[in-house]
Amino acid sequence: MATSQTSLRALTLGAIGVVYGDIGTSVLYAVKEVFGSGHVPFTVDNVMGILSIFFWTLTVIISLKYVTLVLRADNNGEGGLVAMLALASQSVKDKPKLRRVLLYVGIFGTCLFYGDGVITPAISVLSAVEGLEVVSPNFKKAVIPLTLVILFGLFAVQKRGTADIGKFFGPITLVWFISIAVLGVSHIMHNPEILWALSPHHALAFMWAEPLTTFIILGAVVLCVTGGEALYADMGHFGKKPIRLAWFFIVMPCLTLNYFGQGALLLSNPEAVKNPFFMMAPAWALIPLVCLATMATVIASQALITGAFSVTKQVVQLGYLPRFQMLHTNV
């Protein structure tokens, strides 16, 4: 029993690092993109409405759809869109037209996952390094070059394998989640009324009053659930229970606290919309927070890159891509 509990804790910690690294760094840019676009007038009602949309998007898409329902659809323990495609194809093998439609839908979804894999390293690392601008405007010119150096280093390490450094992913990401939760709580305490945004009526009121704006900002709102597909794709590595435990007890509470903390900050200081995440932190914590955010985004990026390679392997095995040699690195 003790060994089983130890294994469960280890798998849950691993899931925090690998499965939730991407969605865990969305706090860096999601709120900033919504209000920074200029499409949403800055009012108290709109802040409450957007935060409510964020919370219920996380609840419906991640908690209900992925964690509760989709994790049940495994293909011999494996997850991901390709595994679901294999299951769907097998169930309708006597209906070729329907099977063809499902194939197109599955491949389209896989392409979207590849798109996520392309943009996530760039936008995540850039958002982390942009924290230097909050430290001092003099760092502005260094943001792009430093981001490029980090990304080049990421891919240079990635192709040689990450087995040796992978054991640090879970603890570092856990520290990240605890840190963003503490930041959120510190601002919620000053504006506790922001917690009323937990009610879905704020989201519904915003969508009813601003239907066109809601449609326009969907591309920014969906940033709060980037990495949701990785949750399903990595099921074969960690299992259902560790993934569910990590989400409900660590990841979702910490994300919610941070988003609502950013909202509380915006209510008291609307000018913080320039970079609400880093402006939550006291001056003395900015440099450590930028370093921690950079490590978290690198972990999230490499996990998504690994997931893209795993999906490619599955697609090749199903015969939807030409076969080619694969080298499994472990150094």
* pLDDT for res 314: 73
pTM of this prediction? 0.88
Q: What is the 3-state secondary structure (H, E, C) of 206-234?
A: HHHHCHHHHHHCHHHHHHHHCCHHHHHHC
Domain membership of residue 323 (yes or no) is no
* pLDDT for res 79: 65
pLDDT at 84 exceeding the cut of 70: yes
Contacts of residue 254, defined as CB under 8 A and 6 or more positions apart, other chains included, come to 24, 177, 178, 180, 181, 184
Supply 69's token pair: 């329902």
Domain membership of residue 291 (yes or no) is yes
pLDDT at 162 exceeding the cut of 70: no
Domain membership of residue 288 (yes or no) is yes
Domain membership of residue 61 (yes or no) is yes
- Report which of 183, 205, 207 is spatially closest to residue 196, judged by C-alpha positions: 205
Q: What is the pLDDT of residues 266-295, one digit of tens each?
A: 999 988 888 999 999 999 999 999 999 999
Q: How do the residues of the chain divide into helix, strand and coil, expressed in percent and rounded to 5?
A: 80, 0, 20
Domain membership of residue 238 (yes or no) is yes
What's the rounded Cα separation, in Å, for the pair 299 and 268? 33
Q: What is the pLDDT of residues 232-252, one digit of tens each?
A: 777 766 778 888 999 999 999
Q: What is the pLDDT of residues 164-213, one digit of tens each?
A: 556 778 899 999 999 999 999 999 999 999 999 999 999 999 999 989 88
Other CB atoms closer than 10 Å to residue 23's CB: what's the count?
24
Domain membership of residue 34 (yes or no) is yes
Is 100 in contact with 288 (CB distance < 8 Å)? Answer: no
Q: Which of 23-32, 64-73, 118-127 reaches the highest mean pLDDT?
A: 23-32
Is 31 in contact with 276 (CB distance < 8 Å)? Answer: yes
Lowest mean pLDDT among 96-100, 247-251, 253-257: 96-100
Is 25 in contact with 296 (CB distance < 8 Å)? Answer: yes
Q: What's the whole-number average pLDDT of the chain?
A: 85
Which residue's entry shows tokens 């990026």? 301
Residue 126 structural domain: 17-315
* pLDDT for res 300: 84
* pLDDT for res 113: 79
Domain count, the chain: 1
Contacts of residue 59, defined as CB under 8 A and 6 or more positions apart, other chains included, come to none
- Exposed/middle/buried for 52, CB within 10 Å: 0-12, 13-18, 19+? buried
Lowest mean pLDDT among 35-44, 171-180, 199-208, 312-321: 312-321
* pLDDT for res 160: 65
* pLDDT for res 165: 59
Reported confidence tier of residue 93, pLDDT bands at 50, 70, 90:
confident
Is 80 in contact with 311 (CB distance < 8 Å)? Answer: yes
Is 183 in contact with 23 (CB distance < 8 Å)? Answer: no
- Report which of 211, 236, 223 is spatially closest to residue 11, judged by C-alpha positions: 236
* pLDDT for res 331: 44
Contacts of residue 192, defined as CB under 8 A and 6 or more positions apart, other chains included, come to 264
Supply 114's token pair: 């590849």
